[in-house]
Amino acid sequence: MITVTDLTKRYARTTAVDHISFSVNKGDIVGFLGPNGAGKTTTMRMLTCFFPPTEGKATVAGFDVFEQPLEVRKRIGYLPETPPLYLEMETIEYLRFVGRLKGLSGTHLENRVAFVLDRCAIADVKTRLLSKLSKGYRQRVGLAQAIIHNPDVLILDEPTAGLDPKQINETRDLIKSLAGDHTIILSTHILPEVEQTCQSVLIINKGKLVATDSVHNLQARARGAESMLVNVGVRSGEFPSAAVQARLQRIPGVSGTALKEEFQSGAIFEVESKKGQLVRGDLARAVVEAGWDLNELRPSAMSLEEIFLQLTGSDAATASTAAAEAAPPSEPPASTEAPAPEANA
Amino acid sequence: MRNTWIICRRELSSYFASPIAWLLLAMYSIIFGWIFWNFLAEFIKQGLDMEMMGQMQPMNVNEQVIRPLLGTCSFLGLFVIPLISMRLFAEEKRNGTIELLATSPVRDVEIILGKWFAATLLYCWIIIFACINFVFLFRYGNPDWKPLLITLLGVFLQGAALLAIGTFISTLTKNQIIAAAMTFGACLLLWVFSWVSSYDSSTWAQVLSYMSVITHFDTFDRGVLSTKDAIYYLSVIFLGLFFTARSMESLRWRS
């Protein structure tokens, strides 16, 4: 649906976006992630034909953003960072205006207006002046104007910025529910948002694309290996911590173990294994056969936050300290120094 | 064309949704009414004086009331026009709504024309509203309506030309006050350029004097429909809107 090749935007002194390439399939929700000033908005503005790229090519629904901007704009719904509302208008009046601007008219226009009022849950404020609406409502009106002409592609620039937690959830659900009919790119710097709403992620930093993958793969990739958290305990007596660790270490496929947390009658170990090796069953069996209790066994997923910091940190040192701060203090160094930047492909 | 009309309609409704249109309408009507009353009172006094002294010089409503009044009208435009045109693009840039327009399937030309049309329509509406005063002249006197219409056309053309310049200036800034001040300056400059012709007749002076909006208003003011002067106004309009289009384009390349 969207193909971007070597897209570059240079301003007088700075390069805001530096040769980024990616593509998005129809119906996907893609999270566009990066710190402030990384070039997210610039990229989105190029895709929406707000301004042309300095170099490179981007096509949306088969139309080039530079050659056929009008065709592209017909197929794009765009919600900028601040919703583009004419504050002196009423909600319904505003939506009609945008609808007409996007080429709708007559009963079709009225139907679409009624549809988006309902879909974005703003029907109760349809005759209210936009200047009187709360931030959450404004954001939803912004979303409503973006989908009014039923575009193939939706581009949302920080759709949940400045909303309260309840509104964030509602907006997220709304975005997710739109996914089937629309291809969505949304930018954000809130990581859980991406984990919850998006299928894949583009991480951009200082104008460069540092990673592009599905959320799931990205987590695995940042690890370079798979790791499990095993909570082992005994019902009575002293917990043989060293023996348990040694036993876990002997399981075929396990490349490393570390004691993460110890308590009176048990401990949590982190067990690393090479990617693709399924050691869960062996782990469980080993613990149970040795007569210990297996209280918990779960994969330890690195949060996107850690990946993000790792990939966008200005140098390795800040990245690993930041990641270590986010993780429990006893985290072994092996996991923070995961080989990541191969993701650059 | 359809898009131009959509944008024009929204602009007009937003003029009237904010107090600015009503304010201008009210202020202009009051000032115009006051001036009208003054010219008329003087005209009547002159008429009475002459009657008392037994002189019967020809008196002409067109020459003595309507013409100076519409001359003032075009002068008042200097103050009204910056206030009309200042918000056209500056407000959109400040509120970020320009992003909506610029990413909608609409050509830049259509946006610009729509906005300029709306501003011109508002200006015409203000003038026409003030011209209701003339009804009294037609009711109690017998003025010639043809020169009146031609002078009004001159007022409209001059307003449309200055509004085109104002539209251009509005694209240059996010700040409406700066846009208004710059437009006022530009209008005033184009006004006083004509003064040079009174003491200088070199080529430069002639060029400057030709550039002045008031030079070309004179013929309309006399009730003469002159194609040459109409073409001057039309070319200023074209130039103003052309620069607006270039400015919007550069906005896209730079911003």
- Can you give the CATH number for the domain in which A69 is found? 3.40.50.300
Judgement on whether residues A205 and A284 belong to the same structural domain of the protein: no
Q: Whose structure tokens read 């894949």? A: A200
The last residue of a domain, from among A197, A219, A241: A219
pLDDT for A220: 67
Written in H, E and C, the secondary structure of chain B is CHHHHHHHHHHHHHHHHCHHHHHHHHHHHHHHHHHHHHHHHHHHHHHHHHHHHCCCCCCCHHHHHHHHHHHHHHHHHHHHHHHHHCHHHHHHHHHCCHHHHHCCCCCHHHHHHHHHHHHHHHHHHHHHHHHHHHHHHHHHCCCCHHHHHHHHHHHHHHHHHHHHHHHHHHCCCCCHHHHHHHHHHHHHHHHHHHHHHHCCCCHHHHHHHHHCHHHHHHHHHCCCCCHHHHHHHHHHHHHHHHHHHHHHHHHHHHC
Backbone angles phi, psi at A183, to 5 degrees: -90, 130
- Quick check: A102 contacting B, CB < 8 Å? yes
pLDDT for A76: 92
Residue whose C-alpha is closest to residue B137's, from B77, B72, B59, B74: B59
Residues of chain A contacting residue B17, judged by C-beta atoms under 8 Å apart: 88-89
pLDDT for A326: 43
ipTM reported for the complex, 2 dp? 0.88
Judgement on whether residues A215 and A230 belong to the same structural domain of the protein: no
Which among B3, B18, B253 has the least Cβ separation from residue A101?
B3
The last residue of a domain, from among A175, A200, A219: A219
pLDDT for A339: 42
Judgement on whether residues A87 and A138 belong to the same structural domain of the protein: yes
- Is A76 within 8 Å of B252 when comparing Cβ atoms? no
The last residue of a domain, from among A201, A219, A237: A219
* Residues in B lying within 8 Å of A, measured between beta carbons: 3, 6-7, 10, 13-14, 17-18, 95-107, 252-255
CA distance B133 to B139: 10
Judgement on whether residues A208 and A255 belong to the same structural domain of the protein: no
- Is B99 within 8 Å of A80 when comparing Cβ atoms? yes
Residue whose C-alpha is closest to residue A193's, from A20, A19, A31, A23: A31
- Three-state DSSP state, A80: coil
For all residues of chain A together, what is the average pLDDT?
81
- Can you give the CATH number for the domain in which A345 is found? 3.30.70.1340
- Is A98 within 8 Å of B100 when comparing Cβ atoms? yes
**Structure token pair of residue A276:** 């693709």
**A44-68 pLDDT tens trace:** 999 998 888 888 889 998 899 888 9
Judgement on whether residues A209 and A325 belong to the same structural domain of the protein: no
Helix A165-178 to helix A135-147 angle (10° resolution) is 10
Residue whose C-alpha is closest to residue A52's, from B244, B113, B89, B250: B250
- Quick check: A91 contacting B, CB < 8 Å? no
B14 with A86: CB under 8 angstroms? yes
Full residue range of the structural domain in which residue B109 is found: 2-254
B138 with B213: CB under 8 angstroms? no
Judgement on whether residues A233 and A179 belong to the same structural domain of the protein: no
Q: Whose structure tokens read 């092996």? A: A334
CA distance A339 to A321: 16
Residues of chain A contacting residue B11, judged by C-beta atoms under 8 Å apart: none
Integer-rounded Cα radius of gyration of chain B? 20
- Is B104 within 8 Å of A100 when comparing Cβ atoms? no
Residues of chain B contacting residue A12, judged by C-beta atoms under 8 Å apart: 254
- Is B97 within 8 Å of A101 when comparing Cβ atoms? no
Full residue range of the structural domain in which residue A260 is found: 224-345
Residues of chain B contacting residue A82, judged by C-beta atoms under 8 Å apart: 95-96
pTM score: 0.81
Which among B97, B102, B103 has the least Cβ separation from residue A85?
B97
Residues of chain B contacting residue A97, judged by C-beta atoms under 8 Å apart: 6, 10
Residues of chain B contacting residue A98, judged by C-beta atoms under 8 Å apart: 100, 104
Task: Render A81-126 in DSSP notation, one character per residue.
Answer: SS----TTSBHHHHHHHHHHHTT--HHHHHHHHHHHHHHTT-GGGT
Pairing of strands A55-60, A2-10: antiparallel
Which among B10, B96, B105 has the least Cβ separation from residue A84?
B96
DSSP code at position A129: B
Written in H, E and C, the secondary structure of A134-177 is CHHHHHHHHHHHHHCCCCCEEEEECCCCCCCHHHHHHHHHHHHH
* Number of folded domains that form chain B: 1
**A291-343 pLDDT tens trace:** 888 888 887 766 666 777 777 665 443 434 444 444 444 434 444 444 444 43
Judgement on whether residues A296 and A178 belong to the same structural domain of the protein: no
Mutation target to probe the A interface, by most A beta carbons within 10 A, among B7, B93, B100 is: B100
Judgement on whether residues A60 and A191 belong to the same structural domain of the protein: yes
* Number of folded domains that form chain A: 2
For chain A, which ranges sit under pLDDT 70? 219-226, 275-277, 301-305, 312-345
Q: pLDDT tens digits, chain B, 255 residues: what are they?
A: 889 999 999 999 999 988 899 999 999 999 999 999 998 898 888 888 888 887 767 777 777 888 888 888 888 888 999 999 999 999 999 998 999 999 999 999 999 999 999 999 999 999 999 988 888 888 888 888 888 899 999 999 999 999 999 999 999 999 999 999 999 999 999 988 888 888 888 888 888 888 888 888 888 888 888 899 999 999 999 999 999 999 998 888 775
- Quick check: A278 contacting B, CB < 8 Å? no
Burial grade of B218 (CB within 10 A; 0-12, 13-18, 19 or more): middle
